[in-house]
């Protein structure tokens, strides 16, 4: 591994499992010191901290509910205090609530917006205050921002579409400072919450995928690491899809 991120300081929200954990591991292998947030399982977070420290970099786990703006702010502050700054922010925390219009609760709507949109803004605003030229902000969006082909996903799709407008606007704010901001938009990815086996997965692979398989969390992490690296200073305000042709 080339360690293109050596001595960089990164915060990954929602980093203890799934795509977030893969991003934590990949950035650490590239040489970055890592802070990540988790919502519930301290044991899982502690195991990942030990794994990352074995790579020779610093690692801290921060319990934070992304629906709580004060917790998000505290996570940014602790990252800066313990790592000495912040060069990379990856907004990976997210929730998936689905249901038909007539049954979708306002509580689920509010949580979706709080975690998938507001927390991204809160973390970005707080982290940017500590960032210097060359810093990177990367959001984990969804291919559903551009295509929602089945019922029940309207609010989730809306929340991920909001990130497209957010990064386009913030690219203008942050560009003069030499800070880039982009979305990575995964399609179906094999995780504990979205396994690549079962009736729903087989339906997606057969009906919607050009590459008839789910992606891996490591494939998403590779794209994130590229955007976090030194060769992407001219990429900003973009939404980059990694979806096996789901949106083709």
Q: In the structure encoding, which two tokens stand for residue 82, read together?
A: 């313990």
pLDDT score, position 20: 98
Chain segment 156-208, per-residue pLDDT in tens: 999 999 999 999 999 999 999 999 999 999 999 999 889 999 999 999 999 99
pLDDT score, position 193: 82
Indicate the pLDDT class of residue 149, thresholds 50, 70 and 90: very high
51 pLDDT above the threshold of 70: yes
Cα(189)–Cα(96) distance, rounded to whole angstroms? 14
Cα(76)–Cα(72) distance, rounded to whole angstroms? 7
pLDDT score, position 93: 97
pLDDT score, position 192: 86
Chain centroid to CA 227: 12
Indicate the pLDDT class of residue 109, thresholds 50, 70 and 90: very high
pLDDT score, position 154: 98
Average pLDDT over residues 1-16: 92
244 pLDDT above the threshold of 80: yes
pLDDT score, position 31: 97
1 pLDDT above the threshold of 70: no
pLDDT score, position 96: 95
The contacts of residue 30 (CB under 8 Å, 6+ apart) are 1, 2, 3, 4, 5, 6, 225, 228, 229
DSSP strand pairing (180-186 vs 136-140): parallel
Average pLDDT over residues 225-247: 97
pLDDT score, position 230: 96
Please give the torsion angle defined by the CA atoms of residues 156, 95, 101 and 208, in that order, rounded to the nearest 10 degrees: 50
pLDDT score, position 28: 98
Indicate the pLDDT class of residue 53, thresholds 50, 70 and 90: very high
In contact, 9 and 88? CB cutoff 8 Å: yes
pTM of the predicted model as reported, rounded to 2 decimal places = 0.97
Q: Which residues are catalytic?
A: 156
Q: What is the mean pLDDT of the chain?
A: 97
Domains belonging to the chain, first-starting first, are 9-241 (3.40.50.720)
Average pLDDT over residues 116-139: 98
């Amino acid at each position: 591994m080339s360690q293109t991120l050596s001595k960089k300081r990164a915060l990954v929200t929602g980093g203890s499992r799934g795509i977030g954990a893969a991003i934590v591991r990949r950035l650490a292998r590239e040489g970055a010191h890592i802070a990540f947030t988790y919502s519930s399982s301290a044991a899982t977070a502690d195991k990942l901290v030990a794994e990352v420290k074995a790579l020779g970099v610093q690692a801290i786990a921060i319990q934070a509910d992304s629906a709580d703006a004060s917790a998000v702010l505290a996570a940014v502050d602790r990252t800066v205090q313990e790592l000495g700054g912040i060069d990379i922010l990856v907004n990976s925390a997210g929730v998936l609530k689905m249901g038909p219009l007539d049954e979708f609760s306002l509580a689920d709507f509010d949580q979706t917006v709080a975690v998938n949109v507001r927390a991204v803004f809160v973390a970005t605003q707080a982290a940017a205050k500590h960032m210097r030229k060359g810093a990177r902000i990367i959001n984990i969006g969804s291919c559903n921002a551009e295509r929602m082909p089945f019922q029940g996903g309207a609010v989730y799709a809306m929340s991920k579409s909001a990130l497209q407008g957010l990064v386009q606007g913030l690219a203008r704010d942050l560009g003069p400072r030499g800070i880039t901001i982009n979305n990575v938009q995964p399609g179906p990815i094999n995780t504990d919450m979205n396994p690549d086996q079962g009736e729903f997965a087989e339906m997606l692979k057969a009906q919607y995928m050009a590459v008839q398989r789910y992606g891996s969390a490591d494939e998403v992490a590779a794209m994130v690491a590229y955007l976090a690296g030194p060769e992407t200073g001219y990429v900003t305000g973009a939404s980059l899809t990694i979806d096996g042709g789901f949106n083709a």
